[in-house]
């Protein structure tokens, strides 16, 4: 038996034992834990940005903006709101319950939680979720990605330094470790990753009836739609930034763009110009441009470009030694081609064209496919855009902007269908890691015998009909 197969059950048992001491029920205990986590992140800022550089090729500004700084903001929001979120609710029980007229709703932690995090934002999507788990009053085991080993090792060091293993711990390793963890009886599982693995997590969790939150990428990709009335230069600038960010390895990133034929040529010209302005003539030698996570991801990207080499409008080259691949525009692409019917998770951007007069047909096709994690829309017709956003199904998105919806405090981040279930960030994360427990406050005076036998009393019939109308 492998060593981790012996250790993991013991870790889970110790965490369950610690949870049962009720120490994590204290709001002060949780706030102190969050402060320790925040202080450690600030203390290890340089090491964290260095680890992100090693694993993903991120420059220090992108590393801070996307992982470290965003994590600090998440902790700050949680600490500020926690007492209010955790407050016991008091409800009027109703006359039918008289004289027991008060019912309380307690916000209860699930217990011992499992957090399975991905490689693309290894710090934020591990410790950001941990923030919600701690806020809810849980203990936590984090299974961090083996694809970002430097970040995983550093998180192990940080968490070991500030928390005992019986409260929070970080475990590395591959799929075998994750599968071993999934056999344990956790009280809540939070998984971020692909829909394919999400199905496996649900299957394993179902064996113990464990509640699960899933944050997944779009099975058929996140769409961006550009109408003919859009500010094309503005759209191109924002899309170029977003598609280059983390080399396209972002669950909410644009997978493909649908551009009105009337402005399609103008758009690809402006997009190319935006890439060159932001990354220079040689992105492969730009130290600010991130790399793909491993050779497998690089090979997959290279094959996709090779399959469409006759339609590469811009980019199309890579360096396997550095794992960098240029932002690549493939134009034009039909809406039914394979490359726009699956998540890419790389810097390739297929551009589909459509007649602006047939926008409803395009949206119907998009909505008939698996629900995306994000959707982006560029147009000057804001009333139409808002109406469109209300009727399409996806996790979240922007009108005339990209990605920033997930930076807004107080709103949820979530998917739907194949892009996930459950929500988090701020109070939504607290809700995800707690469950409501209703307790009626009974009275032993002025009790009416309405519910008791005998029932064949006219006054009881009148009273019940009166109270339950």
- Give the Cα separation of 430 and 82 in Å (integer): 8
- Give the Cα separation of 436 and 439 in Å (integer): 10
Residues 107-133: what's their mean pLDDT?
97
Integer-rounded Cα Rg, in Å, for the chain is 26
The residue annotated as part of the active site, out of 66, 151, 180, 251, is: 251
Nearest to 294 by CA among 234, 334, 341, 247: 247
295 is catalytic: no
Q: Euclidean distance between the first and final Cα of the chain, in Å?
A: 63
Classify the C-alpha dihedral 39-426-115-118 as positive or negative.
negative
Residue 194: burial class (beta carbons within 10 Å; 0-12, 13-18, 19+): middle
pLDDT at position 219 over 70: yes
Range in 127-136, 145-154, 450-459 with the lowest mean pLDDT: 450-459
Using DSSP's 3-state secondary structure scheme, residue 319 falls into strand
Nearest to 173 by CA among 306, 319, 11: 11
pLDDT at position 317 over 50: yes
Residues 8-36: what's their mean pLDDT?
98
Using pLDDT thresholds of 50, 70 and 90, give the confidence band for residue 56.
very high
Other residues' Cβ atoms within 10 Å of the Cβ of residue 276 = 15
Using pLDDT thresholds of 50, 70 and 90, give the confidence band for residue 1.
very low
97 is catalytic: no
DSSP 225: E
Instruction: Report pLDDT digits (tens) over 445-461.
Output: 888 777 788 888 888 88
- Residue 285, pLDDT score: 94
The residue annotated as part of the active site, out of 204, 215, 219, 427, is: 215
Backbone dihedral region of 215: left (phi > 0), alpha (psi from -120 to 50 degrees) or beta? beta
How far are the Cα atoms of 87, 91, 448 from residue 442, in angstroms, in the given order?
21, 13, 13
- Give the Cα separation of 158 and 161 in Å (integer): 5
pTM: 0.95
Most confident of 64-68, 213-217, 222-226, 281-285: 222-226
- Residue 333, pLDDT score: 98
Q: What does the buried/exposed string (b/e) look like for 232-246 if buried means 16 or more CB atoms within 10 Å of the residue's CB? A: beebbbbbbebbbbb
Residues 6+ apart with CB under 8 A from 362: 225, 258, 335, 354
- Give the Cα separation of 297 and 320 in Å (integer): 10
- Give the Cα separation of 37 and 29 in Å (integer): 12
pLDDT at position 468 over 80: no
Give CA 440 to chain center in angstroms: 36
- Give the Cα separation of 135 and 379 in Å (integer): 40
pLDDT at position 48 over 50: yes
Q: Are 355 and 260 in contact (CB under 8 A)?
A: yes
Report percent pLDDT > 90 for the chain.
90
Q: Are 287 and 310 in contact (CB under 8 A)?
A: no
């Amino acid at each position: 038996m492998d060593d981790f197969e012996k250790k993991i059950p013991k870790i889970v048992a110790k965490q369950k034992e610690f949870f049962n001491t009720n120490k994590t029920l204290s709001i002060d205990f949780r706030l102190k834990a969050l402060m320790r986590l925040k202080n450690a992140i600030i203390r290890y800022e340089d090491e964290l940005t260095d680890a992100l550089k090693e694993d993903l090729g991120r420059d220090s500004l992108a590393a801070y903006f996307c992982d470290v700084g965003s994590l600090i903001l998440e902790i700050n929001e949680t600490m500020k709101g926690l007492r209010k979120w955790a407050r016991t609710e008091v409800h009027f029980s109703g006359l039918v319950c008289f004289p027991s007229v008060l019912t309380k709703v307690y916000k209860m932690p699930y217990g011992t939680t499992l957090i399975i995090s991905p490689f693309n934002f290894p710090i934020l999507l591990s410790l950001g979720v941990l923030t919600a788990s701690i806020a809810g009053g849980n203990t936590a085991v984090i299974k961090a990605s083996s694809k970002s080993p430097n970040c995983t090792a550093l998180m192990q060091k940080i968490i070991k330094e500030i928390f005992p293993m019986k409260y929070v711990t970080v475990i590395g390793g591959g799929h075998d470790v994750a599968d071993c963890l999934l056999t344990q009886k956790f009280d809540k599982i939070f998984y971020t990753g692909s829909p394919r693995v999400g199905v496996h997590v649900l299957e394993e969790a179902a064996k113990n009836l464990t509640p699960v939150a899933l944050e997944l990428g779009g099975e058929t990709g996140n769409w961006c739609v550009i109408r003919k009335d859009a500010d094309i230069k503005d759209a191109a600038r924002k899309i170029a930034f977003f598609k280059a960010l983390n080399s396209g390895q972002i669950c909410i990133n644009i997978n493909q763009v649908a551009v009105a034929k009337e402005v399609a040529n103008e758009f690809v010209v402006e997009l190319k110009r935006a890439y060159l302005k932001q990354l220079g003539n040689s992105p492969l030698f730009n130290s600010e441009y991130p790399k793909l996570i491993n050779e497998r991801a690089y090979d997959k990207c290279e094959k996709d470009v090779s399959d469409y080499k006759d339609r590469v409008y811009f980019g199309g080259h890579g360096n396997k030694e550095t794992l960098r691949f240029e932002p690549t525009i493939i134009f034009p692409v039909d809406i039914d081609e394979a490359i726009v019917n699956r998540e890419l998770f790389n810097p390739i951007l297929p551009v589909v064209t459509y007649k602006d007069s047939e926008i409803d047909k395009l949206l119907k096709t998009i909505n008939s496919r698996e629900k995306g994690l994000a959707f982006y829309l560029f147009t000057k017709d804001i009333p139409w855009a808002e109406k469109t956003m209300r009727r399409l199904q996806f996790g979240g998105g922007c009108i005339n902007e990209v990605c920033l919806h997930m930076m807004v405090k107080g709103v949820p981040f979530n998917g739907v269908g194949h892009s996930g279930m459950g929500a988090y960030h701020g109070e939504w994360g607290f809700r995800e890691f707690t469950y409501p427990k209703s307790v009626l406050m009974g009275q032993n005076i002025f009790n009416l015998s309405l519910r008791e036998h005998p029932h064949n009393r006219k006054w009881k019939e009148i009273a019940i009909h009166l109270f339950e109308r």
